[in-house]
Chain A
Amino acid sequence: QSALTQPASVSGSPGQSITISCTASGTDVGDYKFVSWYQQHVGKVPKVIIYDVNQRPSGTSARFSGSKSGNVASLTISGLRAEDEADYYCSSYTGSSTWVFGGGTKLTVL
């Protein structure tokens, strides 16, 4: 069974950079190349900010970037702003025609 593990919370001050990790476990996440990241503000709908590990949809700020090393995907937000305070979720195709989300990370901008 696949699982994606994220830290429960991260924090940073305005202008700083933060990184949120997403660690895959289980035998059926394939080569883990279909990783996406979603931002969800309180009371709002999730919004994709990164897909295919490191691709940004149009409209996503260049301050958001994604990467992957082995079974760990990462989301980096540079030049942190108050508006970045939200929950962030990673997601991956499992290779078994199903999808899995990480548990989510609450980002606090100090």
Chain B
Amino acid sequence: EVQLEESGGGLVKPGGSLRLSCAASGFTFAPYVMNWVRQAPGKGLEWVSSITSSSSFIYYADSVKGRFTISRDNARNSLSLQMNNLTAADTAVYYCARHLRAYFDNWGRGVLVTVSS
């Protein structure tokens, strides 16, 4: 069974940093494109970032470009998101999502990031 488990969320002050992790299990992690998708409280889904299997190609939404960094460790079956210079607009549940062909086929349960003073 595919499992994705996010961790690292919490409360952070504006301008602060946070690092999210996603532990993958139940499948061979290395070949898959992985993503972060977020959802602000009471709002819709927003794609944040993608990373290809060998980390050769990395993409970001304009809203986080220059502040967030996605990375992966295929040996440890893990995905990370380093978030810097956080603002209130970054407050959301962050989901780790596996990419299959052209859609997100498996999602983690999500982790809440709250940016507030």
- Flag if A34 contacts B44 (CB, 8 Å): no
Q: Which of B45, B60, B101, B109 contacts A101 (CB 8 A)?
A: B45
Give the Cβ gap from B10 to chain A, nearest Cβ, in Å.
20
A48-B103, A48-B104 known; A100-B109 Cβ under 8 A: no
A52 to B59, CA, bound (A): 21
Contact with B along A71-106 (1 / 0, CB 8 A): 000000000000000010101010001111111100
Give the Cβ gap from B21 to chain A, nearest Cβ, in Å.
17
Q: Which of A36, A45, A51, A103 contacts B44 (CB 8 A)?
A: A103
- Flag if B110 contacts A45 (CB, 8 Å): yes
Q: Contacts of B75 on A, CB cut-off 8 Å?
A: none
Main secondary structure of the interface of B (DSSP, over half): strand
A48 to B105, CA, bound (A): 6
Number of interface residues of A (CB under 8 A): 23
- Flag if A99 contacts B107 (CB, 8 Å): no
Contact with B along A29-43 (1 / 0, CB 8 A): 000001010101000
Q: Contacts of B104 on A, CB cut-off 8 Å?
A: 36, 38, 46, 48, 91
Main secondary structure of the interface of A (DSSP, over half): strand
- Flag if A89 contacts B101 (CB, 8 Å): no
Interface residue? A57 (CB, 8 A): yes
Q: Smallest CB-CB separation from B57: which chain A residue?
A: A97
- Flag if B107 contacts A45 (CB, 8 Å): yes
Contact with B along A51-81 (1 / 0, CB 8 A): 1100001000000000000000000000000
- Flag if A98 contacts B61 (CB, 8 Å): yes
A89 to B95, CA, bound (A): 15
A52 to B44, CA, bound (A): 21
- Flag if A89 contacts B44 (CB, 8 Å): yes
Q: Contacts of A98 on B, CB cut-off 8 Å?
A: 47, 50, 59-61
- Flag if A45 contacts B95 (CB, 8 Å): yes
The 7 nearest A-B residue pairs measured at CB: A34-B102, A36-B103, A51-B103, A99-B47, A104-B44, A101-B45, A97-B59
